[in-house]
Amino acid sequence: MSVNTWVEINLNAIVHNFHEIKNYVGRDVCVLPVVKSDAYGHGACEIARILAKEGVSFFAVNNVEEGIAIRNLGHFGEILVMGGLLTDDLDSILEYNLIPTVHSIDWARHLSDKASKRRQIIKIHIKIDTGMGRLGINCDEAKDVLKEIVKMPYLKIDGVYTHFSTADEVDRSFLFEQIKRFEKILKNVPMGKNIFTHVCNSAAMLDFPACHYNMVRPGLALYGYVPSERIKNQLNLIPAMSYKSRVLVIKDVLPEKDISYGQTFRTKRRTKIGIIPVGYGLGYFRCLSNKGYALIHSRKAPVIGRVCMDQIVLDLTDIPAAAVGDEVVLMGTQGACEISAHTMAKWTGTISYEILCSLGRNIPRLYLWREERQGHVDIYERIDERRERKYIREHLPIDNSVNLPKSE
């Protein structure tokens, strides 16, 4: 069965980005890869599997279900659940040896009661709300709450953290205020030795090395992007995700003819159009109607007319070589041209995070991995867990390999 629209995940790029981050923060700082929301659409299990081979033993997820999925891979390391949990999750936390985030004294008491009944010590990370206004123990309550938690014998404090609300903004004044509040709590409440202290998401990690403490939490950077174009890509990050389709049909259309729903586009010349089997049902936002472009033969093909649920129309008039079956790059690189997640975010009025996460849903993922040995390169291609593994290239001379970053 052929796949006409897919998301391509370059696993070598993930490994490359991880080592770029690790070299940047130094050997004394633990890199905690954030694989929540299915690894920002890249596939949490595949990303965790490949990073575990690189020595990663600690992952961060959003909820218990994500943590269980990583544990079921055979991962024996640590898994931090950063999101809010309910009492229904307590048994799973203990059964799968997950590290919950404690964000209130009530939640700490629930954990303590369950752990004491089972005579099982639970590692926890404590989250302080220094100004994000979401989960976390309020700063003005933190001293008393932490003193109570320290006395709970079945809760072992493994880490303490906070989250910045303006790390990717130009005005850094509030970020400095959050650091000040966090430091004050660390100073006033002894929580034991050898615990992880972490505050840096990708933006703060890149912009504020002094705040690395002994752990950082890269998410977007791991997948090849800086959180804001204001932040310099000083690590040579490589985007791991591409979004591709194929030309399904080519038609010649006369001038003054309407294209797609609503008569929002009318041809002004004899136009060669291409029908592409992708739409908002497969992650291509409807708001891209009559704006944006795709890449065919390393040239820009404008989107014309409204985006439908499962089809878009491209203007191929200026790409005479375009043919049925040709690759269409909706996001990614083709030759010297690129459409990045940042570019798509500008077109749609959102952020790159949302673009990546939305593309991971309902679209087949194709994983690419390259290995070099004995003067040759083996290149593997695999559809995600729902489909079988196969090889697209095998034992090629290195100079004939496809354009994938080398594994570290």
* Dist CA 290 CA 352 (whole Å): 20
Catalytic residue among 36, 127, 244, 272: 36
Check: CB of residue 49 under 8 Å from CB of residue 63: no
* Dist CA 273 CA 320 (whole Å): 11
Q: Which helix (H) or strand (E) holds 38?
A: helix 36-40
CA count, 13 A, side-chain hemisphere, 357: 12
| Burial tier of 364 (Cβ tally within 10 Å: 0-12, 13-18, 19+) | middle
Q: Is 123 a catalytic residue?
A: no
What residue type is assigned to position 168 of the chain? Answer: D
Helical H segments across 171-220, by residue range: 173-188, 202-207
* Dist CA 218 CA 201 (whole Å): 5
* Dist CA 94 CA 96 (whole Å): 6
Q: Which helix (H) or strand (E) holds 225?
A: none
* Dist CA 401 CA 378 (whole Å): 8
What residue type is assigned to position 179 of the chain? Answer: I
114 forms beta bridges with none
Q: In Å, how far are 37, 90, 374 from 353, measured between CA atoms?
A: 10, 30, 39
Catalytic residue among 143, 180, 257, 261: 261
Q: Which helix (H) or strand (E) holds 381?
A: strand 376-383
Check: CB of residue 100 under 8 Å from CB of residue 111: yes
Q: Is 390 a catalytic residue?
A: no
* Dist CA 150 CA 191 (whole Å): 7
What residue type is assigned to position 50 of the chain? Answer: I
CA 381 to chain CA mean position, Å: 20
Q: In Å, how far are 271, 272, 396 from 253, measured between CA atoms?
A: 5, 6, 43
- The single-letter DSSP state of residue 32 is -
- φ/ψ region of 290 (left if φ > 0, alpha if ψ in -120 to 50, else beta) reads left
Beta strands in 177-278 (DSSP E): 196-198, 215-216, 241-246, 249-253, 271-276
Where in the sequence numbering do the catalytic residues fall? Answer: 36, 261
